Amino acid sequence: MGNIITPYLTLAAILFCIGLYGALTKKNGVIVLLSIELMLNAVNLNLIAFSKLGDHPALTGHIFSLFNITIAAAEAAVGIAILITIYRNKGTVEVTDLDSMKR
């Protein structure tokens, strides 16, 4: 099992690290949301790889991956709606400028 699944796990780790770097270092809110989506896709890749290539292949990883995709879509929709509202009120989507809940 180790040699077959290693490329999938390596790719998922690289994707997750790129997403984590983007989420922690970028100032633009849209880029932060995209980085979070990249991390969620890395998790999906892990779920599918372990489900398909594990010791006991089953559909549980696929089902969890579908739930994860659903949650990611909802997160993206809500996040973009929040960013649009913030841009309309403050004129920026830079996360460093959004330190107050007040107008």
Asked whether residue 71 carries a pLDDT value surpassing 80, the answer given is yes
Question: What confidence tier does 102 reach under pLDDT thresholds 50, 70, 90?
Answer: low
Domain over 1-95 is classified CATH 3.40.50.1260:
no
User: At residue 54, what is the residue type?
Assistant: G
Q: Find where tokens 């403050």 sit.
A: 90
Least confident stretch, 6-15, 30-39, 63-72, 87-96: 87-96
With b meaning 16 or more CB within 10 Å and e meaning fewer, what string describes 40-57?
Answer: bbbbbbbbbbbbebeeee
pLDDT digit string, tens, across residues 80-96: 999 999 899 888 888 88
Give the C-alpha separation, 29 to 39, whole Å: 15
- Chain length of the chain: 103
